[in-house]
Structure 1
Amino acid sequence: MPTKTVRNPVGPDQLSMLQKVFDQACVEHNISKSSPDGEALALILVHSMQKGLSEQEKLESLAHILAESRGT
């Protein structure tokens, strides 16, 4: 039997925080929001929150690590 990945819905407050984290990471790392890197970053952040990573500082750290590791 395949395992089921639990994904929790993202509420308005969480979405607002995700947008802030995403916008900040894009500015700090010179990532175009509509680029493949920007789209991948957004997707990973949303999925991470759906899986339970809901603290802003941890999401910011994840965004920084992902942005720093792109292209390597």
Structure 2
Amino acid sequence: MPTQQIRNPVNPDQLNLLQQVFDETCLEHHIEKSSPDAEALALILVNSLQKGSDDKNRLAALAETLAKGL
């Protein structure tokens, strides 16, 4: 039986954090928020946060790395 990844729900403070990191990354890297690239970025950030990475600097570093690859 495959192991299941536990994903925690996102609370309002975490949602605000995600929004800040997402908005800053999109602005800095000229990513259209309605684009497939932005959607992929958002999904990865949410997934990372749900797995326990809720530090703004860590999420911002992840977003920066991802944005450079887009």
Aligned residue in 2 for 1:3: 3
Structure 1 unaligned residues grouped into runs of 5+: none
Identity %: 60
Structure 2 segments unaligned to the other structure (5+ residues): none
CA RMSD for the aligned pairs? 0.4
- TM-score scaled by length of structure 1: 0.95
* Map of 2:52 onto structure 1: 52
How many residues align structurally?
A: 70
Find runs of 4+ consecutive structure 1 residues off by over 6 angstroms.
Answer: none
Corresponding letter in the other structure for 1:47: N
Distance 1:23 1:15 in 2: 12
Q: Does 1:24 align with 2:24?
A: yes
